[in-house]
Amino acid sequence: MQGVVLSDICGLYSLQVLDLSVCCIDEGGIPTEFCQLSSLQELLLIGNPFRSIPAGINQLSRLRLLDLGYCEELRQIPALPSSLRVLDVHGCKRLETSSGLLWSSLFNCFKSLIQDLECEIYPTEKSFAQVNLISDGSGIPNWISHHKKGAEVVAKLPQNWYKNDDLLGFVLYCVYYPLDNESEETLDNDATYFEYGLTLRGREIQFVDELQFFPSFQCYVVPQMWMIYYPKLLIEKKYHSNKCRELTASFCGYLRGKAVKVEECGIHLIYAHDHEQNHGKAMISTVCRECQGDVQSRRKLCLKGNAINELPTIECPLELDSLCLRECKNLEHLPSSICELKSLTTLFCSGCSRLRSFPEIVEDVENLRVLHLDGTAIEELPASIQYLRGLQYLNLSDCTNLVSLPESICNLSSLKTLDVSFCTKLEKFPENLRSLQCLEDLRASGLNLSMDCFSSILAGIIQLSKLRVLQLSHCQGRRQVPELRPSLRYLDVHSCTCLETSSSPSSELGFSLFKCFKSMIEEFECDSYWNKAIRVVILGNNGIPEWISQPKKGSQITIELPMDWYRKDDFLGFALYSIFISMACDELNCELSICGDQSECCHVDDVQFYCCPICDESSQMCVTYYPKVAIDKQYWSNEWRRLKASFHSLDAPVEVKECGYYLIYTRDYSDEQRSCDTRSAAEDTNSNAQTSYDWTQCTEHSDSPMDTTTQIINSNVVDAQDDEEDHMHDWLELLCKFVGWICCRRC
């Protein structure tokens, strides 16, 4: 097409759609007067040999779609108008898609879209409610934080995501190939379109949005990538809750009527500060993925992986609130002046393998809340660590040269989390551990401490009234789990091969966990609960204990609740057990659903267990104590008496070998039941356990159980609605007690 014809077109000020595809427009063939097409909304330049397009294109303030597909000589794209919603550059073999200017332009388009939505200016076509990019599949940006093979990907949203003004939305992408011609999955026509679905997951799976996108091309180049910038504002307010923090994106599509194969997909959370830190130059983040997840910090300096051997001069040091030095492997020391960063709240030195010491602290430091020194070469902490008055999180895990902790660490009155896991040379622990009255999370896995040192730790643990999490896995030599505070909600003692970990009602551990369970129920009833379930991880080599009801092979089990379960004060809830091999997964998820008489099942809750990264092939047993009061009251009726528990992983394969359950009644934990229980704690942990009685203890109870028969019967008066199974359970229990009493008397 001749340039004079193009110049004439530039005078069509009301023109909205212009298609100049395959018009042999060479370099320089697009006149600068194009910027005068003030009404233009769609511009198609497919298959032309030009190398660039005029910079004036960013003046097309109403342009919604720009299609540059198969412009094989195209090298670069100038700044784009913020009104753009669809950019197609597939088949542009020479285009550099890693250009910061491209991502910056797309980010500006995204910000413009958000402003439109805030002003309630909605596009006439749904495909223009997001910013879309179509390109070749080889140009996936490396800043995408969550990506996975296959057609579905999951990302966890930060706490209070819906109130966080810095979180603008999400980048979603998929890479796809056409399936072979023998695929049976076809359409009735030759349509080409892509589709995605968004769901939020919490207590229930909530559908959020879906979109069918019809590109303006017939694609012959594979693989292809479809990327969407999705604004948070499009998520309806009814989903704005911390109960919905798991975002799932799923993709599918058809190419000329045949299904495409989604090779991989991903999600990336978009924060305004990423763009601000680049002074508006690019969407490409200057911070690592870990720092991106820190939504609390506003002024960050990320030097992850830098070759520095000392801390460089910091611009505006008094404004910095997060400093990331992760994996700076040449860094040998920190200057004492680091404590002069008065606004600093978070310091990451994780993986600084040559860092041997932490500087002396000469004055009180109030603002530093989080300190990561894990994976460093530190041998000891200075006694002046106590001057970090505001410190809440101290991570010293994998400090394999650390020999001792100073006693002054117990003066950190604000400390909530202390992690010394796998500090294999640690020989001395503070004796005054009970002074850490704010401590909620103690992680001390993989230690080789002496029995005396362990005893000192355990004596201190008993005094920690706010302790929620206790991790003592891979600690050899321990034979008993310590007495637990009722505040505890997570206990991990797996891979402690000498440890007695029976959690039966008659065991010390079982009774301690019951006290924790009762405490949690009280918190729940006061609406002040930390977590809905008690979670325990122990060694699983011996399989499911014999006292567990109906153990079953596989990853699913159904629990039959007793009649009137929601009204029985004696029935508190249930314990779920699962034996699993973690393989490569990070989390094991226990999904609970409740089922009605009509086979209708509704999602109740999810309980997560963190999988040990170094126990790929050994069995672990997870135990979940779940209270009945945590089940939504809409299901409190005899129509809902079946609970389904399913164990699986959301991120990688996991082998669930077997599972089981146990109904928790108050009577099972009474003093009489514990002393005359038919199984001892030691027998529960033995795979060849035999039923027996503790005759010595039994003979102390000289009264016949029949003396209390009337009371038992009166307390279990049969309601007209009760079924026979519940009656039989009560009478069998009474009979067992009576037989046990007779045996005791004969001895």
Tens of pLDDT, residue by residue over 181-203, are 555 566 667 777 788 888 887 65
Q: Could you tell me the pLDDT band of residue 746, with boundaries at 50, 70 and 90?
A: very low
In this prediction, residue 505 carries a pLDDT of: 60
Q: What are phi and psi of 237, to 5 degrees?
A: -65, -20
Is the confidence at residue 209, as pLDDT, over 60? yes
Q: Which CATH class is domain 507-674?
A: mainly beta
Q: What are phi and psi of 147, to 5 degrees?
A: -140, 155
- Cα separation, 691 vs 680, whole angstroms: 9
Nearest to 637 by CA among 565, 569, 558, 568: 565
In this prediction, residue 101 carries a pLDDT of: 78
- DSSP state string for 591-648: EEEEEETTS-EEEEEEEEEEPPTT-SSS-EEEEEEEEGGGS-GGG-STTEEEEEEEEE
Contact 224, 147 (CB under 8 A): no
CA distances from 646 to 48, 180, 337, 418, 607 (A): 56, 35, 53, 33, 10
Nearest to 517 by CA among 593, 600, 434, 574: 574
Q: 453-479 pLDDT, tens per residue?
A: 777 777 788 889 999 999 988 876 555
What would the mean pLDDT of 113-133 be, rounded to a whole number?
85
Q: 221-233 pLDDT, tens per residue?
A: 567 888 999 999 9
Is the confidence at residue 684, as pLDDT, over 50? no
Beta strand segments in 272-332, E: 300-302, 322-324
Q: Could you tell me the pLDDT band of residue 142, with boundaries at 50, 70 and 90?
A: low
In this prediction, residue 276 carries a pLDDT of: 56
Question: 3-132 and 507-674 share one CATH topology?
Answer: no
CB count, 10 Å around CB of 509?
A: 25
- Locate tokens 């706490």: which residue? 159
Q: 292-305 pLDDT, tens per residue?
A: 666 667 788 888 88
Is the confidence at residue 716, as pLDDT, over 50? no
- DSSP state string for 362-403: -S-B-S--EEE-TTS---B--GGGGGBTT--EEE-TT-TT--
- Locate tokens 């077109």: which residue? 9
Residues whose CB is less than 8 angstroms from the CB of residue 161 and which lie 6 or more positions away in sequence, other chains included: 167, 232, 245
Of 264-278, 427-441, 565-579, 641-655, minimum mean pLDDT range: 264-278
Contact 209, 225 (CB under 8 A): no
CA distances from 635 to 566, 574, 592, 602, 642 (A): 9, 16, 13, 9, 11
What would the mean pLDDT of 532-543 be, rounded to a whole number?
73
Buried b (16+ CB within 10 A) or exposed e, 296-306: ebebbbbbbeb
Contact 494, 612 (CB under 8 A): yes
What would the mean pLDDT of 254-282 be, rounded to a whole number?
73
pTM of the model: 0.60
What would the mean pLDDT of 682-706 be, rounded to a whole number?
37
- Cα separation, 568 vs 638, whole angstroms: 12
Is the confidence at residue 283, as pLDDT, over 80? no
Domain spans of the chain, in order of start: 3-132, 142-277, 507-674, 693-746
Of 414-428, 508-522, 604-618, minimum mean pLDDT range: 604-618
- DSSP state string for 225-288: EEEEEEEGGGS-GGG-STT--EEEEEEEEEETTEEEEEEEEEEEEEEHHHHHHTTTS-SS-SS-
In this prediction, residue 506 carries a pLDDT of: 58
Higher pLDDT, 369 or 671: 369
- Cα separation, 407 vs 383, whole angstroms: 8
Contact 561, 726 (CB under 8 A): no
CB count, 10 Å around CB of 364?
A: 11
| Three-state SS at 541 | coil
Of 27-36, 41-50, 478-487, minimum mean pLDDT range: 478-487
Of 130-144, 380-394, 470-484, 490-504, minimum mean pLDDT range: 490-504
| Three-state SS at 322 | strand
- Locate tokens 């296959």: which residue? 150
Per-residue H/E/C for 566-589:
CCCCCEEEEEEEEEEECCCCCEEE
CA distances from 623 to 126, 513, 546, 577, 595 (A): 47, 11, 15, 5, 22
Contact 322, 346 (CB under 8 A): yes
Of 101-110, 318-327, 613-622, minimum mean pLDDT range: 613-622
Of 205-214, 296-305, 385-394, 732-741, minimum mean pLDDT range: 732-741
Nearest to 496 by CA among 533, 444, 458: 444
In this prediction, residue 359 carries a pLDDT of: 93
What would the mean pLDDT of 11-30 be, rounded to a whole number?
89
In this prediction, residue 690 carries a pLDDT of: 35
Higher pLDDT, 492 or 189: 492
Mean predicted lDDT score pLDDT of the chain:
79
Q: Could you tell me the pLDDT band of residue 146, with boundaries at 50, 70 and 90?
A: confident
In this prediction, residue 126 carries a pLDDT of: 72
Say which CATH topology domain 142-277 has.
Jelly Rolls (2.60.120)
| CATH number corresponding to 3-132 | 3.80.10.10
- Cα separation, 341 vs 329, whole angstroms: 23
